[in-house]
Structure 1
Amino acid sequence: MITPIYAALLVFLYIFLSFRVIKLRMKYKVGIGDGDQSMLTRAIRVHGNFAENVPYALLLVWMYESTGGSTLLVNIMGILLCLGRLSHAYGVSQPKEPLIYRQSGMVMTFLVMLIAALLILTHLALGYRF
């Protein structure tokens, strides 16, 4: 099993993003919402976007792996997902956002989901009879 390694690595980033939101909430004394603080807004969205997308991507990669998928492809997708999430987090976290980091991060994340889904369907259609 390879996917759990990437899940474990990504959890460290998730915890970091969570603590960054907490730190900014304490700094700006904001309990709910963003208090019109742009850096807090950005931190909340980076954290939220991670929580919205990473579980689906990891689940798809794990499903592909569990159907007997290629170890090489699982590693490529895991690395791509990690790089994508780091890129997105960096880009959106900047006060003057360099859009290329956000865009490339989302492209990498969506590519992992799309490729894993297509591989699962292809693998099941060609390898199993229903």
Structure 2
Amino acid sequence: MSINEAMAFHTEAFQAVALWTGLSLLFILVLSMRISAGRRKFKVSVGDGGHAALTATTRAFGNAIEYVPVALVALAVVAVFYSAPVVHVLGGSFLFGRVLHAWGMAQEKQPAAGRMFGMILTYLPFLASAGLLIFAAVG
């Protein structure tokens, strides 16, 4: 691979990381805005005021904050070794999983299917990223 080919390869992979990072930031912003709207609705300044819907909204945000940063770091490192399509598959499935999970958390009847499928679509890209990175390191 020539230096120009290598630069193009990495540029495309990191553009894919940039896309999924930007979309993840917007997703986190939406989750945060849902908390603010819920606090206004229930007239709660701090916490959830004992409102189950606000508790679920807050946990959906908290859960995203727990997973998204690690996933984005993994995507960035994957982009060093693998192509943009690999980054897109991992980033897309991860973000779709987070959206499903947040939607599932908002359902009254729990456990909701969206929450379950969302966690599966969170775990699978994590597992795939881990495998790809371990392979890149030792292979």
TM-score normalised by L of structure 1: 0.90
Aligned to 1:99: 112
The alpha carbon displacement at 1:98 in A equals 5.7
Greater mean deviation of Cα atoms: 74-83 or 92-101: 92-101
Aligned residue for 1:94, secondary structure, equals coil
Match of 2:136 among 110, 115, 123: 123
Aligned to 2:54: 40
Aligned residue for 2:44, secondary structure, equals coil
Aligned to 2:5: none
Aligned residues: 125
Gapped regions of structure 1 (runs ≥ 5):
none
In structure 2, C-alpha distance between the alignment counterparts of 1:97 and 1:79, rounded to whole Å:
25
Structure 2: which amino acid aligns with 1:103? Answer: M
The alpha carbon displacement at 1:103 in A equals 0.9
1:50 aligns with 2:48: no
Structure 2: which amino acid aligns with 1:117? Answer: A
Aligned to 2:79: 65
Match of 2:36 among 18, 22, 34: 22
TM-score normalised by L of structure 2: 0.84
The alpha carbon displacement at 1:39 in A equals 0.6
Structure 1: which amino acid aligns with 2:90? Answer: M
Aligned to 1:11: 25
The alpha carbon displacement at 1:33 in A equals 2.0
In structure 2, C-alpha distance between the alignment counterparts of 1:72 and 1:6, rounded to whole Å:
12
| Structure of larger gyration radius | 2
* Runs of 4+ off more than 3 Å: none
RMSD (Å) for aligned C-alpha atoms: 1.2
The alpha carbon displacement at 1:97 in A equals 3.8
In structure 1, C-alpha distance between the alignment counterparts of 2:48 and 2:27, rounded to whole Å:
21
Match of 1:80 among 89, 93, 110: 93
Structure 2: which amino acid aligns with 1:80? Answer: S
Task: Work out the percentage of aligned pairs sharing the same amino acid.
Answer: 32
In structure 2, C-alpha distance between the alignment counterparts of 1:26 and 1:75, rounded to whole Å:
37
Structure 2: which amino acid aligns with 1:25? Answer: R
Aligned residue for 1:74, secondary structure, equals helix
Gapped regions of structure 2 (runs ≥ 5):
1-13
- Once the two structures are superposed, residues 66-96 of structure 1 have per-residue CA deviations (whole angstroms, 9 ceiling, x without a partner) of 2x21322111101101210110011101222
